[in-house]
Amino acid sequence: MADGRRRTRAFEEVLLQVERRIADDGLKVGDRLPGERQLAEQLQVSRSSVREAIRVLETLGVVSSQVGRGPDAGAVLTSRPDSALTDLLRLSLGLSSLSLREVIDTRLMIERWSAEHAARAAPLPEPAEALMEAMPAMEAAASAEDFVRHDIAFHVAIAEASGNRLIAAVMRALRGAMRKYAIEAVDRLGDTRVLREDHRRIHDAIVSGDAATAVDAVTAHLAHAYPELF
């Protein structure tokens, strides 16, 4: 039990330090975090606790870790862990243990709602642009991992286009669990053509303000990706 508290404290301290550095303009997206040993000394925790904390931050999509030595080694900040959402990110510690059923049920509820409200709020030039940018990137993807990275950006953009910041934050927090199962789904399908056509229908429905079609298109898309759950 004590070990669990120490691990949680390590994660919280690392996250708080990242937030403090961002607030002080000392660390920006693309910048590298202090090394594992340095963080351990600063936080007075073991290097294994720091390693686990960085792994959790990577699962949440806050940092990207690189193996090796020298200037290219270590964790790089990939998104801003906004202070207002700290508690939500902490709750996300257990995301990696979520089942496929739990992830897809949650996505279905969130994405149906998001698509409906995004369509009702049309025209939305900025979200529409984010959706459009993701689609050619998926066309050019050279691997399942690359396709899924842009696929997730597409779906997060829908949540952001809904206008509900908490819904968008939940989708961003789900990225780690989404990535795991989405890559498996793409590998299983082999051909992403159906998924790309789904994205086009979702985008067109949202941009045209057709809420009912947007909801139906999102539902059909998840059914195509995860037929065993529908």
Q: What is the pTM of this model?
A: 0.63
Do the beta carbons of residue 130 and residue 153 sit within 8 Å? Answer: yes
3-state helix, strand, coil in the chain (%, to 5): 75, 5, 20
Instruction: Please give the pLDDT value at position 49.
Output: 73
Cβ-Cβ contacts under 8 Å for 109 (sequence gap 6 or more): none
Instruction: Please give the pLDDT value at position 29.
Output: 77
Instruction: Please give the pLDDT value at position 1.
Output: 42
Rounded average pLDDT over 190-205:
94
Distance CA 13, CA 105 (A): 32
pLDDT band at 75 (very low <50, low <70, confident <90, very high): confident
Higher pLDDT, 38 or 225: 225
10: tokens are 């390590």
pLDDT digits (tens, 9 = 90+) for 135-190: 899 999 989 999 999 999 999 899 989 988 778 878 877 777 788 899 999 999 99
pLDDT digits (tens, 9 = 90+) for 121-149: 877 656 567 788 888 999 999 899 999 99
Higher pLDDT, 21 or 36: 36
Cβ-Cβ contacts under 8 Å for 190 (sequence gap 6 or more): none
64 φ, ψ to 5°?
-125, 120
Do the beta carbons of residue 27 and residue 77 sit within 8 Å? Answer: yes
Domains observed in the chain: 2-89 (1.10.10.10), 98-229 (1.20.120.530)
pLDDT band at 116 (very low <50, low <70, confident <90, very high): very high
